[in-house]
Amino acid sequence: MADLELYGTASCPFTRDAREALEWKRRPFVEYDVDLDADALERLVALTGQRAVPVLVERGRVVEVGWQGRCCYIGPATGTAQS
């Protein structure tokens, strides 16, 4: 596991801002897109108890939810199989 993890989505502008800030500071991190990675979404909810991004996790501890007080909320999965 990486020391610093960023949980977010490609569509969230605050995730983009958080990513850019980490890159600017040259902080190495692993990014998880919770829209594409169901396991990452489960970890996010287990860590925070909510479905908001971006979330920064350092050494397994949540250090920041949202970016500068702003976040995007991830809705429940909407696709269901129809026969």
Q: 60 lies in a domain? A: yes
Q: 48 lies in a domain? A: yes
CATH of residue 31: 3.40.30.10
Q: 18 lies in a domain? A: yes
Per the structure, how many domains does the chain have? 1
Q: 30 lies in a domain? A: yes
In this prediction, residue 18 has a pLDDT band, given cuts at 50, 70 and 90, of very high
Domain with 18 in it: 4-73
Q: 82 lies in a domain? A: no
Closest listed residue to residue 6, CA positions, set 40, 49, 42, 50: 40
Q: 80 lies in a domain? A: no
Q: How far apart are CA 33 and CA 7, in angstroms?
A: 6
Q: 35 lies in a domain? A: yes
Tens of pLDDT, residue by residue over 27-68, are 999 999 999 999 999 999 999 999 999 999 999 999 999 999
The answer to whether 55 and 64 have CB atoms below 8 angstroms apart is yes
pTM over 0.85: yes
